[in-house]
Structure 1
Amino acid sequence: MNTWSAVGPELRRLRHQAGYTLTELSLAVNYSKGYLSKVERGKVKPSPDLVRRVDTFLRAKGALRRLVEPSPRNRTAAVRANDDAGPVDRRWELDPAELLAVGVDTLIGTVLKRPGHATSSGGTALLDALTTQLEQSRALGQCCDPATLLPVLEAQTRSVVALLSTGAPRDRLPLLVLASRFAEFAGWMAQEAGMVRAALSWTADAVLLAQAGEDPHLASYALVRRALVTLYDGDSSGTIGLAAQAQTDGRLPPRIRGLAAQREAQGHALAGDELACMRALERARRSLAAAEGDAGPGPVIGTTNLADPAAMVTGWCLYDLGSPREAAQVLDRECHRIPENALRTRTRYGFRRALAHAAAGEVEHSCAIAQGLLDMSVATPSATVRSDIRRLSDELGRYRVNRAVRELQPALAWALKPALI
């Protein structure tokens, strides 16, 4: 028997128990009465979004979701691939002269050639220049194809590591920490390009570099990054487990602890556990607030383009919890606070905002939001954002007769074309 066929009888039982008619449930979850009737009678397979919304509205505490949850053996193939990937390519174990040559035309090479900026006496100037280069790369990552940026990031990481053989001993640890940040960002760009195996490999490299630089906490953040892979794979338990594991270190800097708590909250939202989600979000708020005056070694880890990361993630979670109207309200407010030049961030949360409005039945407004994002999504392609565009296309597909939807669908189809890697 199909696992989803059990949803109908349970849905009917929960609806009767709560005292709602089909008409009342239809109005609450924005699905037609006829469709809900077919679901209850086992005539059609319920959409995942419907299951989320009904589960939340009827306060089923995840009971309906668990009936359609994917089998564990089908989950998170990408994460398992990292476990049997074999030896990681240690990109920095090459001849230092060759490594430095790779980046000779970058900002690093330019700084090294300037009078007064030799590594033996200008360590501070060099570290400042490298930090600036990382910030510039992050800015590029907001407005260009991640697959195009990856070779540049590899060259930059090699160049920073190569400087270890020529720099002053006092610069060794800061250089290793900087190299770890370059490698970590390369991992994020690889994931955005849809290269999950490469993303996990880069993140593993970043952890080793950070540990060599006596920054032991990036390993915990690597778990947060892996939890993002499981989140997009629809594996709520894997996401919660990895995020919880990241928080076991009592000495963890508050920013990483806050980012881990946010990811845990997203996992709980995916599982339909509202109470656990809100508790994790509250921990995230406290930790991120504490992090504002407690910077760790090296450049800031994670996004710097969100005015209130916990608030934005709250909107994200509300959608996954099956409360699209509340999600749309939060995302409306927070998306307007994203800097204009942060195109990738605007696209990521903007499509989630459009999705929330579509799920709330505000179809024309959803289409207007999406229309303003499509050019950015093509200019800054993202494998993770593409998953939300696909969900938006499916959601709007329920309103095919709507003029705004008909006009938008060709552009959505173009944005969903497979990325060329």
Structure 2
Amino acid sequence: MARRTALGEALLMAGYTQEGLAEKLGVDRATVQRWHSGKNRPQPYLWPKLAKALGVSPQQLRELLADSAGSPLPQSEETAANSAGVDRRSVLSTGVSMGILLALGESGTRAFNPAVVDTFVDLRDSLVTADSLLGSASLVNSAVEQVSNVARLFGRADLKTRGRLFEVGALFAEFCGWLADDLGRFEDGRSWSRQALEWAHSSGSSDLLTYILMRMSQQAQLVGDEGAAAALAYSSVRHDRSVKSVRVRAAARQQAAHASALDGDESSALSHIDDAYDLSTKNLDEEDPYSLAGYCTPAYVTVQRAAVLSTLGKYREALDEYDRVLDDWPHEFHRERGLHLARRTLVAVRSGLPDAAVESGCTALAIARETQSRRTVRELARSAAGMQQWRSYAGVDDFLEAVATEGEAEWAH
């Protein structure tokens, strides 16, 4: 039976499941699982919210955390925990610096503590969580730096630790690819994914390999390389039986649905998306330590169904799917809501509904500006091209001018 820490006991006494606490604090379930097992402590910026959730004082929380890890809290954590009004970006930067110091040491050549790998995992969790709220431009330098830091450790690790390092390196490289895509640097994104694929092969993880093949299919689709998008999607599904995480399997299936839609195979596309939805409703697998596709929830699969229907030319059905899910979209995926609203805008255009297009287009543009998502702006530019005929409709001309202005800023950027 797994060891339960003092913090884990306190969370259970307070009535929290791992899933419930993760949702409340805005972190991955795998992160909470590591707190329960004592592998890691919560990062200092979460302490005020955690103390409030447990109904304890800051001092009582510090005692729980010290008991959980079996050692006193480092002074750096005490200082961070006692700082009022701490800025999330500052904490992330501090965490990155601590990770570098812990992992590389003074000489850069000596062996390192394998527990440092968990430090990198926590750093990635924090960056991924912050990404949708802060925007890619705020985080890309930190993510790229961590790829280099992990790579420098490959030659200093024992065999078992090296396998985990390859996994973490692949995760950071894939994340860099995601950030590059959102910044409109598509070739950079594909280059990062190729690096991630190499390290995923080296790690021996079928889950990672499948996930990154799925992501490479998404990237190929993003730049209009439909043949590569289909081939990569079908390749990811071929690993299905060896994949442990139900969410990774769901992500692979939804991308296979896109591939089938690109091939014009409606029956196969809808079958794949139905399979993805069923898998997305299942609990996260305990054997998925990185929550690779934790975002692949029923809501996510529903917006992907809408996109698949759009590819198949079923625009009114796609519009219904978007409307069914976007009003209740999870707040932590704010940037993604903008992207899907931009795609809804294009569906509204193709359905001949200028009012609906302007409504979602304006909201999507506001979110794109807020999160600096160049990808969302490009999606909106596709809609604008089809709305020129409606300039006399209320709001259309203003929307087209706003998209054009933002597009000019994008190219200048």
TM-score normalised per structure 1:
0.65
Once residues 281 and 344 of structure 1 are traced to their aligned partners in structure 2, the CA distance between those partners, rounded to angstroms, is 23
How far does residue 134 in structure 1 lie from its aligned partner after superposition?
0.9
User: Does the C-alpha gap of structure 1 residues 214 and 297 become closer, same or farther in structure 2, counting only changes over 3 Å?
Assistant: farther
Question: 1:190·1:196 contact (CA, 8 Å) conserved in 2?
Answer: yes
Unaligned runs of at least 5 residues, structure 1: 1-103
User: Does the C-alpha gap of structure 1 residues 216 and 275 become closer, same or farther in structure 2, counting only changes over 3 Å?
Assistant: closer
2:352 match: secondary structure: coil
What does 1:147-186 correspond to in 2, within 5 Å? 147=137, 149-163=139-153, 171-186=161-176
Once residues 120 and 336 of structure 1 are traced to their aligned partners in structure 2, the CA distance between those partners, rounded to angstroms, is 51
Is the counterpart of residue 285 in structure 1 residue 273 in structure 2?
no
How far does residue 237 in structure 1 lie from its aligned partner after superposition?
4.0
Aligned to 1:336: 327
Aligned Cα RMSD in Å?
Answer: 3.2
Equivalent residue pairs, number: 314
Aligned to 1:312: 303
Once residues 294 and 215 of structure 2 are traced to their aligned partners in structure 1, the CA distance between those partners, rounded to angstroms, is 12
What does 1:66-105 correspond to in 2, within 5 Å? none
The residue type equivalent to 1:190 in the other structure is: A
List per-residue Cα deviations over 1:106-151 (Å, max 9, x = no partner). Answer: 414426779xx99989755x44433231122113321445355332
TM-score normalised per structure 2:
0.66
Larger C-alpha radius of gyration, 1 or 2? Answer: 1
Aligned to 1:133: 123
Bigger mean CA offset, 142-151 vs 198-207: 142-151
Once residues 401 and 214 of structure 1 are traced to their aligned partners in structure 2, the CA distance between those partners, rounded to angstroms, is 58
Once residues 288 and 158 of structure 1 are traced to their aligned partners in structure 2, the CA distance between those partners, rounded to angstroms, is 33
Aligned to 2:16: none
Question: 1:177·1:298 contact (CA, 8 Å) conserved in 2?
Answer: no
Bigger mean CA offset, 212-221 vs 133-142: 212-221
Higher helix share: 2
List per-residue Cα deviations over 1:10-45 (Å, max 9, x = no partner). Answer: xxxxxxxxxxxxxxxxxxxxxxxxxxxxxxxxxxxx
How far does residue 364 in structure 1 lie from its aligned partner after superposition?
1.8
2:199 match: secondary structure: helix
Once residues 402 and 194 of structure 1 are traced to their aligned partners in structure 2, the CA distance between those partners, rounded to angstroms, is 31
Unaligned runs of at least 5 residues, structure 2: 1-91
List per-residue Cα deviations over 1:191-233 (Å, max 9, x = no partner). Answer: 2222233222211222232333332443333322222233233
Q: Which of 218, 240, 248 is equivalent to 2:208?
A: 218
What does 1:349-368 correspond to in 2, within 5 Å? 349-368=340-359
Once residues 403 and 266 of structure 1 are traced to their aligned partners in structure 2, the CA distance between those partners, rounded to angstroms, is 34
Is the counterpart of residue 414 in structure 1 residue 386 in structure 2?
no
Question: 2:164·2:203 contact (CA, 8 Å) conserved in 1?
Answer: yes
The residue type equivalent to 1:213 in the other structure is: S
Question: 1:234·1:270 contact (CA, 8 Å) conserved in 2?
Answer: no
Is the counterpart of residue 259 in structure 1 residue 247 in structure 2?
no
Question: 2:136·2:371 contact (CA, 8 Å) conserved in 1?
Answer: yes
The residue type equivalent to 2:208 in the other structure is: L
Question: 2:309·2:317 contact (CA, 8 Å) conserved in 1?
Answer: yes
What does 1:224-239 correspond to in 2, within 5 Å? 224-239=214-229
